[in-house]
Amino acid sequence: MNNKRTCLYDKHVALGALISPFGGFDMPIQYSNITDEHQAVRQHCGVFDVSHMGEVLVSGTDAERYVNHIFTNNVEGLAVGKILYGMMCYENGGVVDDLLVYKMADDRFFLVINAANIDKDWAWIQLQAEGFNVTLDNQSDYYGQLAVQGPEAERIMEEILNLPCSELTFYTFKTMGDVIVSRTGYTGEDGFEIYATPDYINQCWDKLMAAGVTPCGLGCRDTLRFEVGLPLYGDELSAEITPIMAGLGMFVKLDKEEFVGRDALAKQKAEGVAQKLVGIELQDKAIPRHGYTVMKDGQPIGTVTTGYHTISTDKSVCMALIDSQYAPLGTELEVQIRKKVFPGTVVKKRFYDKHYKK
């Protein structure tokens, strides 16, 4: 099966990017090296091709009621121009996907979903629409998307791309003709997203490259989001890992009358869950990777979901799904890395402080 390619694929190849499959697309993993790209975003500015992400437009008289039915967060009465993060869940509380919801108008919402889940999500979204007066439009193939991230992002958006955006606050957006510009980010730094036609995205990319902005691949996108404790679907959220297990209950609005998965999640919140997602810091330089076993006194109690030797803080840390009794901060446990066992301590999942412009 051939992977899809984004509208910037040829540009990535021309820059000598390491290309690898991700979410059904051939994507740039790195251009120079992950550390340099990571530091560019933390200290200056980097640009990511995120055109692989999916977009779905929901419109119609029941749009708000329908989005609230499939979404754990609450869009009721949300102001136009605001964005919310949350999840779509199955009846048992497992996660279909985590997503962003943009309120375009009182009867129109724009959903941004993960690339690897586009087909599954689209099927789910259509299935749930029965009985609602809504029109669904899968616009994933129409939009290209760039993420311009880092402390210099605002200046670069305005000066290099001529996209006025300084008035946008965190988790808001605006439309300029066919272009959507938002201020969210997945790096822990200030940053913007540009959704537009492939032609326009190519023009923006060329301007950014000409101005010397660092192109960044999915490698440092992962190290950046991991350091600030942001989840990746398939690792920290899945059909088996609910928002309550992942510590994301703040995005689950149980005061809503109904949404898919509400009863299961309310029960989990009230009664507790068997496993929880935690941060673990190792005393050693060894790197805990996805799938490695977490142990307590030699007995397996969980699994690493993502792990790195962090670039920004120079520590070997991971997120792991472990038995809840061992989840309190300060609990001492071990991680098995190949044939050796390394001691570690449960810490907060945010290993590095975010720097958003609120």
For the stretch 169-223, pLDDT in tens is 999 999 999 999 999 989 999 999 999 999 999 999 999 999 999 999 999 999 9
**4-51+143-227, which class in CATH?**
alpha beta
pLDDT of residue 1 exceeding 90, the answer is: no
Over residues 276-285, the pLDDT tens digits come to 999 999 999 9
- What pairs with residue 302 in β-bridges? 294, 322
Strand 25-30 relative to strand 4-5, pairing: parallel
- Half-sphere exposure in the Cβ direction for 13 (13 Å, CA): 7
Structure tokens at 120: 């599954």
pLDDT of residue 303 exceeding 90, the answer is: yes
CA nearest to 209, candidates 12, 54, 43: 12
CB 139 within 8 A of CB 57: yes
CATH number assigned to the domain covering 274-347: 2.40.30.110
- Across 15-31, b (16+ Cβ under 10 Å) vs e yields eebbbeebbbbbbbbbb
Structure tokens at 275: 């496993």
CB 5 within 8 A of CB 25: yes
With bands split at pLDDT 50, 70 and 90, how would you rate the model's confidence at 335? very high
Q: Please give the average per-residue pLDDT across 346-355, as a whole number.
A: 94
pTM strictly above 0.75: yes
Between CA 267 and CA 271 the distance in angstroms is: 6
CA nearest to 19, candidates 37, 40, 5: 5
Structure tokens at 107: 């009867």
DSSP state of 314: -
pLDDT at 356: 82
Query: What is the CA angle 141-114-179, rounded to 5?
Result: 50
CATH of the domain spanning 53-132+242-272, picked from 3.30.565.10, 3.60.40.10, 3.40.50.300, 3.30.70.1400 = 3.30.70.1400
Domain boundaries, the chain: 4-51+143-227, 53-132+242-272, 274-347
State the chain's mean pLDDT as an integer: 97
pLDDT of residue 231 exceeding 90, the answer is: yes
CB 26 within 8 A of CB 20: yes
Q: Please give the average per-residue pLDDT across 13-18, as a whole number.
A: 97
pLDDT of residue 313 exceeding 80, the answer is: yes
